[in-house]
Every structure is written in C-alpha cells, then in structure tokens.
Amino acid sequence: MSLSDHPRAYGTAAIAIAFAAGILITLGFKDLYPDLERRFQQRSRPRPRPRGSTDVQRRRSSLFWGPVELEDHETSKDLEVPGARIPRDDGISNGIEGCIGRTPLIRIASLCEATGRTILAKAEFLNGAGNSPKDRVALSMIEAAEKDGILKPGRGDTIYEGTVGSTGISIAALARAKGYRAHICMPDDQAREKSDLLHHLGATVERVPVQPIASPDHFVNLARRRAAEHTASSADSSVGFFADQFESPANYHAHQRTTGPEIYAQTDGRVDAFVAGAGTGGTISGVAKYLKEDAKLKNLQVVLADPQGSGLYNKIRHGVMYSHTEKEGTRRRQQVDTIVEGIGINRVTENLEAGRDLIDTAVRVSDEQACKMARWLVEHDGIFCGSSSAVNCVAAVVTALSLPPGSQVVTVLCDSGTRHLSKFWKQIAEMGLEDEPKPDNLLTLLDIKKPS
C-alpha cells in the first residue's frame, strides 16, 4: 500500500523530510552567519574585538567542511567607535605610558542636582604619568619625534619645553621612562610645587620672569632657543628637541585619537555639549574635531571655558582678541590677569586654530566663581581639583542651564588641587571659603541666574 493511500502518514513523512533538510541546509550554509552578524553590528554599536586582530575572519567548519568549531565573540579587547579604536585594559600595562588614557567619566552629583541636567567630567587627573591630560599630549609629541627620527633613546637627547607646569611634568616623567632628559622653562609666577615636582622627576628647570610672547625671553621662546643651542653645541651627537606644545599638531591629534573617542564610547554617543578651557587649545580642538567631524554629532555644542583676563572669550564670541584688562593702566600682570593656571591666553595657537571654527560659544568665569566652585566640589562631591578644572565646572553649569532638561554635558577635570596649594587654594583660604557659612544653593553661590 502506498503513502498516497494514507494522507496522514504522507503528511508526517513530508514534515520529517523537510525538517531534516532544514537542519542540513542550516549546517551547510552557516558560514554566511558571521557576515550577517558583522553587518548588523556595524549598523548598531560595534562590539569589542581582540587587540591586534585583523579583519580576516576564520572560516568556521560545518557539516560539509569538517567538525563544528565554536568561536567566542565576547572575549575581544578593543572597542570600536566611529573612526577610532579604544584599547581595553589587558590587566598588565607596558610601562608608565600604558597608564595614559582610558580615564573614567564621572557624574558630578551636586552639579546635576543644581541644574537638572547631567554633568559628566572626564577624570584626566587619573592619567598615570603626570596626572593630567598633558600626559596624552606629551606621549604623542615624543612618539611623533621618534617616528620622524628626531629623538633616539639612549643617545643623550634632551626634550625642551616651555610650560606653566602640567606639560612639563608629563614630559619629565615620560622622558625618564623612554631614555631622554628633560629641560623645562616656566614663568616664575606659577605655583612653586610644580617646579619642585619637576626637580624631583629629574628635569632641569628654569623659572624665568614673566614676559610677553614677543620677547625672546618669554618662557616658550627661551625653551626653543635652549634646544637649538643644545643641538649646535653637542659633542656627542645628541640633539635638543623643542616639543612646542602650543603649535605642534601632535597635541590636538592626541585628543582627537583618544580623548574624543573615549568620551563617545562612555556616553554611547549622547553628548549635547562639551565644555573645556584652552591654554594650548589642543584639548578643545581635538575633542571637537572627533565628536563633530569623525563621530558626526551635528547637534553638539562645543563651549570654551575662559578665565577672566583671557582674550579668547571675545575672540570666540565677537571675533576680536581682547580683554578688559588690556585697557591702559589696568593690567596687573604680563600674562593673562587671573589666578587660574593652565588655561587662558591672548593669542590663537595653531592647536586652537585647528578647531576654532567648531567652537560654538564661550563662557567667561571670574576668579571668585572658580574659587567658590573648587570649594563646593570638595564639600559636596569630595573632588579636590585645580583652578582650570573649577573654571570648566562653572562653565559646564552655565552651559547646562542653557540646554533643555535631560541634556548631557561633558567637561574635564584636569589636575588635582595638590598642585595648586601655594596659590589657588591659598587664595581660597584667604577668601574665607573654607570656614564661613555658604549658601546651599550653587547658583546663588556663583551668582548664576537661570535663563528665563
């Protein structure tokens, strides 16, 4: 008797045959799955991949090509974001330079509560060499010079730089680690603990009187001259390398390659505003170039945080480099007239110019506001920061209030207050901020009015 005489038996057999065929087809053509999976991941957020892995994918075996070999897609190390790859921690870092980057992005609770918006800060003081964002810059400049054949470890080469402190500290630490010497020129109005730390790191330090940038004795011009003198007079073939942090593209490249991608990854690309000050301009330009040009965050606002006495606020807002302290008879100092160190300048550097068109607006912060913010952060969040970090946080609050509720603002905590004890934090104590009762309302304390 045939199956056609029994419809139920025929149907059961057909289903069984179809099921078996489906299994065979699935096993035979499962090699197509990795391509489909990769395409899906590229359209959504990419998953991590192993450090050093290539784009060549292993052919997975199947029924037709041998035993099935399982692959783990969850053990990769690097994190891919648009236009960049962020190395994950392998557990053991290769020297002190392995401690640079991948810093936490922290939510500052008191600022979020005061504004009704989320304010996040990149904890750059946790970089492992010099404990500031200048670690990224110093490493980038040294590696660029090595790649170009200018610096060679163990030859007696010396890295020269003009700096108010943080870049010099990062260079001094990395120079020793990589087989170089460091010679730092800095203005004599900077906090003494910075030059003391440089001495302990083995650097030669020249503290020089404050001069305008046009003077050959300005600390940057002096460092450039010292490097040239070293190379010209060297009897052992060693060279003097002028790092030139203000003009070297390796500065903003470091932040475009690392800081910007890290912020994108840590926020899942949800950044409504990025707020930062500018000394060399490398941080704000590099991060802006990554987030706006590489990651295509078209609605992002980039905001310059500028201390009193700096001309950059008017340069960004009105196209004119000017500060009211430039008026005849009003200037107290040759440099930017502020207690804040590390940011604020009265010229446009090459690094700032690289991203200037991407900066949307600027916020001016007074010394009094910076001091009050620094003390507020200690008392409410346990954050002991330096002067430039305090300026950034004031500007972040002002920026957050200009955005709709629920917006997310990212700024930078540059360095610890331990480098500012003899100047900035001394001023805070002299203002009575460590003792006197203060308003519980941050906006009242800083005299910031909510936009109507």
Rounded Cα gap, residues 143 and 167, in angstroms: 15
DSSP secondary structure of 251-274 = HHHHIIIIIHHHHHHHHTT--SEE
Residue type (1 letter), 325: T
Is residue 134 part of the annotated active site? The answer reads yes
Contact 212, 311 (CB under 8 A): no
Q: What is the SS3 assignment for 337-377?
A: CCCCCCCCCCCCCHHHHHHHHHCCEEEEECHHHHHHHHHHH
Structure tokens at 347: 């010229």
φ, ψ (nearest 5 deg) of residue 302 = -105, 125
Give DSSP secondary structure letters for 84-145.
Answer: EEEPPP-SS-SSGGGGSS---EEE-HHHHHHHTSEEEEEEGGG-TTTSSTHHHHHHHHHHHH
User: Which two structure tokens, joined as six digits, stand for 8?
Assistant: 């139920």
Task: State how far the Cα of 69 lies from the Cα of 32, in Å rounded to an integer.
Answer: 15
345 contacts 314 by C-beta, under 8 angstroms: no
Rounded to whole angstroms, how far apart are CA atoms 267 and 120?
9
Which residues, other chains included, contact 16 with Cβ-Cβ below 8 Å and sequence gap of 6+? none
Q: Around Cβ 112, how many Cβ atoms within 10 Å?
A: 16
* Catalytic residue of the set 134, 178, 292, 315: 134
- Residue 61 burial (CB < 10 Å; 0-12/13-18/19+)? middle
CA 73 and chain centroid, separation: 29
Helix, strand, coil % in the chain, rounded to nearest 5: 45, 15, 40
Return the SS3 of 289. helix
Active site (catalytic) residues: 134
